[in-house]
Amino acid sequence: MPDADRRDMQDKQLLNHSTDKEQGLLLGRSNHAGNMSQSQKKLQEAICVLLVELCERFTFFGIVCNMILFCTVKLGYRNYQAAIVNMCFVGTSMLMPVLVGWLAECLMGRIKLVCICMFLHFLGTALLSVVAFPFEDIYIDRRHILHTLTKREQKIMFYFALLTASLGIGGIRAIVCPLNAYNLEDCGPKELLSFFNWFYWLVNLNSAVVFVSISYIQQSVARNLGFLIPFVSMLMAMITIHMLRDEMIYKPKTDSSLLTTFGVIASALKTFCVRYRYFSSSTANWLDHAKENYGGQYSETQVEGTKSLARLFPLFAFQILYRTCIMQIPSGYYLQTMNSNLHFSGFVLPVAAMNVISIVPLLILVPILECINSYLFSSKDTGRSPTIYIVVGQLSAALSVMVAGFSEIHRKHFPPVEQTLSEEVLLVSSMPCFHLAPQYILLGVAEALVTPSCSLLSFRLVPERIRGISMHFLTLFNGAGCFMGALLVQTAHAGTQGNWFPHLLHEGKLERFFFFLASLMMVNTLGFWTIAHRYNSLNQEDTNELRGSLPEEKPLEPEKASKYYNSIQESSSVLSPVEKT
């Protein structure tokens, strides 16, 4: 009997062991399947976000590519006015993601806001189609036109359409397609720079397709139906978002905000102004006055994050004039091309197709830069910064604008000829438009070097919790560069009575405007070169010069102590802290 019990006990242990083994195998298989589904979900999400990004850029470039031609021929604007409208639209489209991001963070939900933005973008592209469509060609009979719009009504609808479209663009870029949606937190400097290189490579490849196809449709085949293409492209983006809405809508961390950053700056300024009257020496950094232990309202983490961001402000500031030079492609360079001979082997090239020449260097340089980056970010030293790329790129931009000035002088030496653009006969120079290729190529080289490198520095040199805010500030300064370009055009036209930015290029001195801008850009490049050493290391622990021990302050004199603390209590906060971390 004891032997039988012993055998039964052994059989039960063997059975339990085999059962546990099978359960372990099943659990391992389920975990493996879960990991596979999770990775597939992330891949699917990234692909969908990229598709929406490309569709949005497709619509954006479709609106921008021939706006000057549309404004001058269809709406009767002068050259400088059309250039200002184009640059202001690009600048507004850059600033709107910051505004929409703040609205999504503070006032309403992200899903609700993205639906509103999608509707606004749909409305904007539809209204642009209404403005562009030739209603005068639609008749009830031979004597009655079905519908007409006056010039004033066209302009009002045109501006309203641009505003709503830019709001929609802001919502898509800020909520659906922020850079944080690509899960870049765990990437090193080499991987980040590679991502930015190939990301902008895809964006520019998309824009090349737009500039060739849409510009030709708008200008030659059916120019008034060209604005319907952004409308159709936006429909594709809406379908993509509807299919995978929950997976595509990125939900950022809530431990930082743009308002908190502005609040830290405002609180530091207020406290600094009050304390300056009573202290004989100041703190190591003026932003330290926003800390709670210095009389401010913000925690150590919030202030230190803002200090890391403030360290990038010089980098952002030197991008303003650079962005102004880049904006010459859809403004000054476009006018030069429009007033040159576009005929090539019996075929009239679209004006905006010349933009492809500025994109080709970027498409070629990215693979080459990838090889250089493999050496720059070697395994032994992963903290080297690509600031040399920014210096060379800004120098290339300055040379491009200077070459544009010499090209304008060269263009005037050719006899004038008549050329038909969008059913309008214009008197242009007989110089082939391909003579303008060097200035486009130099700006393309500049974009290939500067934009990915600035994005890398903005993303890498700040703590993870405020990287989205850092990219917002880079966008703000880029948008300021577009408005700076519009201001320079307006100032040059008004200050020289239309001589530096004329309506008829052969009667003015557009080259002087280019030489003036080139000289400003050279000074800007030298200025950045003098501070580039601040960003030589990409390791946050090495580059955070603003952190560390603070020097002791001298105690307040007895008669000033009560005055100081009374002033602190009486003064109200400029911006209350939105959150505490």
The values of phi and psi at residue 502, to 5°, are: -80, 165
Class at the top of the CATH hierarchy for domain 41-135+149-253: mainly alpha
Mean predicted lDDT score pLDDT of the chain:
75
Residue 282 — very low, low, confident or very high, per pLDDT cuts 50/70/90? low
C-alpha dihedral sign at 360, 364, 369, 372: negative
* CA angle (63 as vertex; 417, 426 as ends), nearest 5: 10
Report how far residue 365's alpha carbon sits from residue 518's, in angstroms, rounded to the nearest whole number.
24
Report how far residue 457's alpha carbon sits from residue 316's, in angstroms, rounded to the nearest whole number.
10
Q: Which of 218, 262, 172 is nearest to 62 (CA)?
A: 218
Q: What DSSP letter does each residue of 35-69 carry, written as one string?
A: HHHHHHHHHHHHHHHHHHHHHHHHHHHHHHTTHHH
- What pLDDT digit, counting tens, does each position of 283-342 carry? 667 777 677 777 677 777 777 888 888 889 999 999 999 999 999 988 889 889 888 888
Domains 41-135+149-253 and 307-546 share a fold: yes
Indicate the helix (H) or strand (E) that contains 429. Answer: strand 424-429
The values of phi and psi at residue 263, to 5°, are: -65, -40
First to last CA, the chain: 70
| Residue 498, Ramachandran bin (φ over 0: left; ψ between -120 and 50: alpha; else beta) | left
DSSP one-letter code for 7: H
Q: Which of 343, 449, 354 is nearest to 407 (CA)?
A: 354
CB–CB of 538/385 below 8 Å?
yes
Q: Which of 98, 230, 88 is nearest to 159 (CA)?
A: 88
Report how far residue 506's alpha carbon sits from residue 494's, in angstroms, rounded to the nearest whole number.
18
Pick the CATH number of 307-546 from 3.50.50.60, 2.60.40.740, 1.20.59.10, 1.20.1250.20: 1.20.1250.20
CB–CB of 325/401 below 8 Å?
yes
- 221-244 core/surface letters (b: 16 or more CB in 10 A; e: else): eebbebbbbbbebbeebbebbeeb
Average pLDDT over residues 234-242: 68
Q: Which of 300, 289, 294, 295 is nearest to 265 (CA)?
A: 289
- What pLDDT digit, counting tens, does each position of 484-505 carry? 999 999 999 888 888 888 888 8
Q: What is the pLDDT, as a whole number, of residue 394?
A: 94
- What pLDDT digit, counting tens, does each position of 378-393 carry? 645 544 568 888 999 9
Which of 67-81, 114-128, 291-305 bottoms out in mean pLDDT, i.e. has the lowest?
Answer: 291-305
421 has which bridge partners? 424
DSSP one-letter code for 175: I
3-state secondary structure at position 417: strand
Report how far residue 122's alpha carbon sits from residue 118's, in angstroms, rounded to the nearest whole number.
6
49 exposed, middle or buried (CB, 10 Å; 0-12, 13-18, 19+)? Answer: buried
pTM: 0.78
Q: What is the pLDDT, as a whole number, of residue 60?
A: 85
Report how far residue 324's alpha carbon sits from residue 573's, in angstroms, rounded to the nearest whole number.
37
> Where do the domains of the chain lie?
41-135+149-253, 255-272+287-298, 307-546
- What pLDDT digit, counting tens, does each position of 183-218 carry? 666 677 777 788 888 888 888 887 887 777 766 665
Q: What is the pLDDT, as a whole number, of residue 32?
A: 46
Residue 228 — very low, low, confident or very high, per pLDDT cuts 50/70/90? low
DSSP one-letter code for 354: G
418 has which bridge partners? 427
The values of phi and psi at residue 344, to 5°, are: -145, 110
CB–CB of 174/182 below 8 Å?
no
Report how far residue 479's alpha carbon sits from residue 39's, in angstroms, rounded to the nearest whole number.
36
Q: How many CA atoms lie within 13 A of 216 on its CB side?
A: 11
Average pLDDT over residues 460-478: 85
C-alpha dihedral sign at 359, 316, 399, 385: negative
